[in-house]
Amino acid sequence: MFKIVEKRKLAENIYEMKIAAERVARSAKPGQFVIVRTKEGGERIPLTIADYDVEAGTVTIVTQTIGFSTRKICAMEVGDSLADFAGPLGRPSEFIHMPKEELKARKYIFVAGGVGTAPVYPQVKWLHEQGVECDVIIGAKNKGMLIYIDEMRKVANVHIATDDGSEGYKGMVTGLLEELVVKQGKKYDECVCIGPMIMMKFVCLATKPWDLQTTVSLNALMVDGTGMCGACRVSVGGKTLFTCVDGPEFDGHQVDFDEAMRRQAMYRTQERTAVENHEHKDCKCYGE
């Protein structure tokens, strides 16, 4: 059992939890994920690691109440325990393997959308610790949905975009990205984009004419997390790969996003039915 030692609400329906998981914390690297289950026989939920503290023996996850199982996770409180917290899984971000001097000569731009801001944070934090300067665009529908702003400002140059203009640039992250690259003439060696699938698609469409290497994380496709279920199949450069074992990060210019979005929508009917059935029950059963 893995105890929840801290919990805080980041935004509407978005919660951060620190989990006591010493061995996972000791082995975790930026870009990896964990598989979480609230109880024996429960659904396996893949969540990208949002932070880890080796000394404290904790791993941080951020969860949004989208479906039945994520609602159950978010309803848990400090002192409750998860049945499973398996990881770290997946391949770490490629840049952690680069020689330090080569890495320090590179300039990164990160584009984070919504809950995708959480898994961007450990990558930027790790690069900051290596002496690498990063720019980060954080996008959300409105000011109230922005997360990890203060944490990110400690380790990077932060630029904010909101759809309604309630904070920072008014418009999509692609517009702000164009503002930095085209209008301000900023030069980057790589763009790392994590967020909703449609956002990643359009960021990749924007960066391709600039010949800007773009890495995306397809963690939202995963179900089983071991490569056995096949639900996270994705076409990358014409080859069929598995997000959980070959990723979750890929060359965004090679990803077939239309296929990925169709696959992501496969279980929406079942998920909606599960949520609707559960809403007829007392909310206390979330933790059961």
Q: Domains of the chain by range and CATH?
A: 2-91+270-287 (2.40.30.10), 95-207 (3.40.50.80)
Average pLDDT over the chain, rounded to whole? Answer: 88
Write down the pLDDT at residue 225: 62
271 or 216, which is more confident? 216
Give the chain's length: 288
Lowest mean pLDDT among 56-70, 164-178, 221-235, 269-283: 269-283
Predicted confidence (pLDDT) per residue in 100-144, tens digit = 899 999 999 999 999 999 999 999 999 999 999 999 999 999 999
Cβ neighbours of residue 276 under 8 Å, at least 6 residues apart? none
Place of tokens 């620190």: 18
Task: Please give the average per-residue pLDDT across 176-185, as a whole number.
Answer: 96
Lowest mean pLDDT among 51-55, 89-93, 260-264, 266-270: 266-270
Write down the pLDDT at residue 263: 76
Helices (H), the chain: 22-27, 68-75, 100-104, 117-129, 149-153, 173-178, 197-207, 243-246, 257-264, 268-278
Tell me the two tokens of residue 92. Answer: 């770490």
153 or 44, which is more confident? 153
Q: How many other CB atoms are there within 10 angstroms of residue 23's CB atom?
A: 12
CA–CA gap between residue 74 and residue 55 (Å, rounded): 25
260 or 5, which is more confident? 5
Write down the pLDDT at residue 254: 95
